[in-house]
Amino acid sequence: MPIEAKSWATSSAGRVLFGAGVVQRTGLVASRLGSRVLVCTDSVLLGAGVIEPVLASLRAASVDFDIFDGGEPEVSRITVERAAEFARAKSPDVLIGVGGGSNLDLAKGVALLLAHGGELSDYYGESLVPGPTLPVVAIPTTAGTGSEVTPVAVFGDERRKLKAGVSSTYLLPAWAIDDPQLTLTCPPSVTAHSGLDALSHAIESLCTASYDTFAEDLELGRIFSGKNAYSDALAMKAVGLIATSLRNAVSNGHDLVAREQMMLASLLAGMAFGAAGTGVTHALQYPIGAMTKTPHGLGIALMLPAVMRFNAAVRVQELAQIARLLEPALDLDDAAAALEAADAVARLGTDVGVGVGLASIGITSADIAGIARDAIGIERLIRLNPRPLTVADLELILASAL
C-alpha cells in the first residue's frame, strides 16, 4: 500500500506497561509520580473486586490513596466536576483511572480541573488546555477505547444534548498500564462493543485524509493530523489482531490469549488514532449516543459499515486490505474487496451479538436531519474524512445505516 504522507507527527502516553501481571507494578509507578493518589473508578468494578490488584499494589508500595467510585458508563460533565470537588478535599498529586474509557476520561478530566480550574466546558475543543495537568496513570479494564494512550477525553453534557471532547496533548497519561488479566471478567456485550470500537479506531485512522492535507496543523494547534506511515502500520496490525481474537474473547472470556490480543489491538489502535484521528463515524456517534443513551461502541459498530461504503471509492487499497484481514479466504480484486470490507465488518458485528442498523437502537428516519446538523459542526473530525462532507452527505450515510 503506498504511503500518502511524507511527514507526520504523533503523541502517546509517556510510558506504557503491557502484559499479564503488570498491574502489580502500579504502586511503584505511582510512587515515582507523587505521594498521594486519587483512584477514579466506578462502584461496579469496586464492588466486584476488579480493581483490587491496583489497590493491593498501592498498599504494598505504601502509597496513600483515596477512591472516587462515582464513574459511569458514559461519563458526564457533572460527574467530572463532582469528582474534582471530591478530589480538592483530598489534595492528590497523582490520578489513577481504572476501568473502561469513561473512567480513564474521568481521571483526565479531574486532573485537568485540579490543575487549571474553571468548568469542563471551558476546554471543549482542540488545544484549549493551557498547560500540564496532574499526572494520570491509566489502567483499562476493557479492550476498546485506547484512552490510555490518547490525548482526548469525551464527556456527556446535558446542557448541549451532545457529547463533547477535549483534545490536548496535555491530557496524555503519564503512564498506561495494560494488563489483559483485568479484562477476564468483562461481560460478553461489553467485550463486543469495546472490541468493535477498537476496530473503528483502526479503520478510521487508516481511512482519514493524509497528513500533507493539513500541513498547517501544528501551527493551528490541531491534535489529529490524518493518516501517515506510523498510524497505518499500527492500525493494520490492530485490524489483524481483532479479526483473529474478538470472536473468541466474546465467546470465552477466560481465553487469556484472546484477551491479550484484544488489549494489544486496542492499544495499537489507540496509538494510531492518537496520531491520525478518527472521522465521521465518531462525529455521527456523538449525537446518536446522546440521543439514545446506548453504549458508544454499539453505536459506532452500527454506523461504521455505512461510512466505509461512502468512502470506498477513495480508500480502495486500505479497505481491500482490511477486508482480506477480516476474511482471509476472500478472492476478489481490490475494488470489489474494498466494497466487501463494510459487509465483513457487519458480519463480525453480527457474530459477536451486535444488531443490524441504527433502527435497532431506536433511530428513525425522522431523526436523520437533526443528527446530521449536529455532526457537521464537529469540525475536528469532519475535516478528516477523505471525501468532503456536506449535511446532505451525512443524511445519506445515516439513511444507509438505518
* 52-56, 144-148, 177-181, 380-384: segment of lowest average pLDDT: 380-384
Run of H or E residues at 163:
strand 162-167
* CATH code matching the domain that covers 22-178, chosen among 3.40.50.1970, 3.40.309.10, 1.10.10.10, 3.40.50.300: 3.40.50.1970
Give the span between the Cα atoms of 262 and 324, in whole angstroms: 19
Q: pLDDT at position 1, please?
A: 47
Give the span between the Cα atoms of 238 and 236, in whole angstroms: 5
Q: What is the mean pLDDT of residues 175-200?
A: 97
86 vs 13, residue with greater confidence? 86
* 29-38, 170-179, 205-214: segment of lowest average pLDDT: 205-214
DSSP SS3 for 184: coil
Q: pLDDT at position 213, please?
A: 54
Sign of CA dihedral 137, 143, 149, 155: negative
Give the span between the Cα atoms of 168 and 130, in whole angstroms: 9
Q: Mark out the alpha helices in 312-360 (DSSP H runs).
A: 316-326, 334-351
Taking only the tens place, the pLDDT of each residue in 105-120 is: 999 999 999 999 999 9
Task: Give the DSSP per-residue string, 11-68.
Answer: ---SEEEESTTGGGGHHHHHHHH-SEEEEE-BHHHHHHTTTHHHHHHHHHTT-EEEEE
Residue with the three cell numbers 510510558: 15
Tell me the CATH class for 188-401.
Answer: mainly alpha
Q: pLDDT at position 288, please?
A: 94
The set of cell numbers assigned to 101 is 474509557
CB 396 within 8 A of CB 365: no
Question: How many CB atoms neighbour CB 214 within 10 A?
Answer: 19
Sign of CA dihedral 290, 291, 297, 302: negative
The set of cell numbers assigned to 69 is 467510585
Q: pLDDT at position 380, please?
A: 85
Nearest by Cα to 278 from 337, 219, 221, 226: 226
Give the span between the Cα atoms of 131 and 354, in whole angstroms: 41
213 vs 183, residue with greater confidence? 183
Give the span between the Cα atoms of 247 and 11, in whole angstroms: 30
pTM of the model: 0.94
Query: Is the model's pLDDT at 221 over the cut of 80?
Result: no
CB 153 within 8 A of CB 165: yes
Tell me what the pLDDT averaged over the chain comes to: 93
Query: Is the model's pLDDT at 4 over the cut of 60?
Result: no
Give the span between the Cα atoms of 286 and 311, in whole angstroms: 20
Q: What percent of the chain has pLDDT over 70?
A: 95
Nearest by Cα to 272 from 124, 107, 384: 384
Query: Is the model's pLDDT at 2 over the cut of 50?
Result: no
Domains 22-178 and 188-401 share a fold: no
CB 171 within 8 A of CB 152: yes
Q: What is the mean pLDDT of residues 304-324?
A: 97
Q: pLDDT at position 254, please?
A: 96
Confidence class for position 160, pLDDT limits 50, 70, 90: confident
DSSP SS3 for 145: coil
Domain boundaries, the chain: 22-178, 188-401
The half-sphere exposure of 43 on its side-chain side, counting CA atoms within 13 A, is 2
Q: What percent of the chain has pLDDT over 90?
A: 84
Task: Give the DSSP per-residue string, 99-138.
Answer: ESHHHHHHHHHHHHHHHH-S-GGGG-EES---S--S-EEE
* DSSP secondary structure code for residue 76 in this structure: B
Q: What is the mean pLDDT of residues 4-10?
A: 58
Q: Mark out the alpha helices in 252-333 (DSSP H runs).
A: 256-276, 280-292, 296-311, 316-326
DSSP SS3 for 85: helix
The set of cell numbers assigned to 149 is 494512550
Confidence class for position 290, pLDDT limits 50, 70, 90: confident
Q: What is the mean pLDDT of residues 290-304?
A: 93
